[in-house]
Chain A
């Protein structure tokens, strides 16, 4: 009961209209800016050595046909040769791709584009994939990728049944900015106890017949609910204002986001208890920035290589983003549990740290 009372008090922030607007406007603007400014990452064309790609055109829609024609011209200008695989069976074509005669094979249909790439020629393959993705994104087509990976001379040739769609700029950043904004709530969590202390209300709370644990839990529950509501609003705003794609399993996406909120709060509390005053704030800021940068808040992780790519695996943003994108675009519901477990596991560790430190300290 006392926990709810304290949690309820935390929610009173909602009455602060200015703050509310700021909290909502920031992520929405960020999505808009990043989604448009950095969308080049999703549409880029690059000059490269001649690349040969086979394609088959099976669409009956004239709109798609027009776009495809335009795309072919564009591709030619960039030095990529698209050759129509006329009157050849799909197995032959795939064989050619496997043998490295062609970089890949694209099949254009009404519902979208499927692409088989030779994983042996990774760089060229990437370019073609990027181009196709950009095309698909531009015209809201879906694209299927099937990597042909080499192992002992046997090539995997089967195409997946489900079409894997790729997110567009805004779609991607709607997810990335949301997860990033959630991470930023660690900052407020770090200040959670500090604000009570600076207002001296910690004394009042502590002299009342409420245990430290209840105060702690109440504050966490309060901010959790507060952030959850915020995130829900942001998600819905981006969905209906920008038409960002959040997929069909919104509840599951939201569950993943919720665990990320828990993680962010625990991070804030943990660091807030380890370090006092401003140090906690700056350390948190650095951690959040690094996690955001590395975890793909500004550039999609798939496009990074080397160190960045390696580091990204350790960013909570990355695993949350990944899981959400998987849920949205691949319908892969099983991507959720690992990410959620990771989030919650880290939270438990950080919370345990905070609790141990709290018990040692006099006062809150």
Chain B
């Protein structure tokens, strides 16, 4: 079943088109990455999916139901983590989660349990009685997530949840995302950090100027721009190099040998690093270093649009 289905969605602000005839579907159980530079239309799309903005044109369905016609159902199914911190500074962590979860119809003991559970999930259970002003940026971000997941939504939409935090908190959040996904939630994750998206997302859409310019798994996206990867192996000497055998390994296209390095160009979709290394070891070539260069999503974006994801 499609968790989220967007059909020819357009949003105009006056004359400016922020989202341009965008269609997309997210399957249940995916971690769907929404990758694009700032201002590409990610947030606008997300805001339309969460009914924060109305669409100029097009249709959005959550679990097969139109979100304007079945507004309550759709809202109940979604947990939304906004881009900016959306917590009350004058309420404790627990009260924040408790309040927002309560809006989703949880009551009494169940509400309490869910709130505590959500705080445990993001690792803030021991700080539940503290006020957010005493929190670090990363902790606030985690609280921001806890407020959105206490009601156990089927679909969690995260809008740049890791902006401006330390690497440790970021890892924590990325792990939480995986855990949430394992717990049964479909996740939509927007980011302009290509590493994050590459790391956790099973399906990725690259968006620019309000349009999806490419969509697919990591491998599929990379295959758009190249089908080659480079494996560069540093060795003590290339004297005993089994050239012909190397070339016969599945996927290998060319092998070049200089004095101390071997450059192998290979089909990107075949994982043949192990047989290559085994062969070299077996024929007595001493390996000093291996470096495999695969194209990154950044390269994909750069190749397709001519710009980098982060325009500084």
Contacts and interface: CB of A to CB of B under 8 A. Distances in A.
A199 B90 CA distance: 11
A209 B52 contact: no
**Interface hub of B52, B71, B87, B89 (most chain A Cβ within 10 A):** B52
24 contacts: A2-B102, A2-B103, A9-B91, A12-B90, A15-B90, A16-B90, A199-B85, A200-B85, A200-B86, A201-B87, A203-B52, A203-B86, A204-B86, A204-B147, A206-B50, A207-B52, A209-B71, A209-B75, A209-B76, A209-B103, A209-B104, A209-B105, A210-B103, A362-B53
A337 interface: no
> Interface residues of B toward A: which range?
20 to 34
B110 interface: no
Contacts of B82: 200, 203-204
A95 to B, nearest CB: 70
A324 B300 CA distance: 74
Given A199-B89, A204-B147, 5 more contacts: A5-B99, A200-B85, A203-B86, A206-B50, A207-B78
**Interface hub of B51, B87, B90 (most chain A Cβ within 10 A):** B90
A209 B62 CA distance: 14
Contacts of B80: 203-204, 207
B91 A12 contact: yes
A5 B102 contact: yes
Interface string A190-212: 00000000011101111111100
B84 to A, nearest CB: 4
A44 interface: no
Interface of B: 50-54, 71-72, 75-76, 78, 80, 82, 84-91, 95, 99-100, 102-105, 147-148
A201 to B, nearest CB: 5
Interface of A: 2, 5, 9, 12-13, 15-16, 199-201, 203-210, 362-363
B273 to A, nearest CB: 45
Task: Name the prevailing secondary structure of the A interface residues.
Answer: helix
A18 B54 CA distance: 41
A13 B90 contact: yes
Contacts of B72: 209
Contacts of A209: 71-72, 75-76, 103-105
B95 to A, nearest CB: 7
A15 B76 CA distance: 31
Contacts of B51: 206-207
Given A203-B80, A207-B75, A210-B103, A9 B88 contact: yes
B50 A207 contact: yes
A196 to B, nearest CB: 9
Contact of B86 (A2, A5, A16, A201): A201
A199 B100 CA distance: 14
B148 to A, nearest CB: 8
Nearest to B85: A200
Contacts of A2: 102-103
Nearest to A19: B90
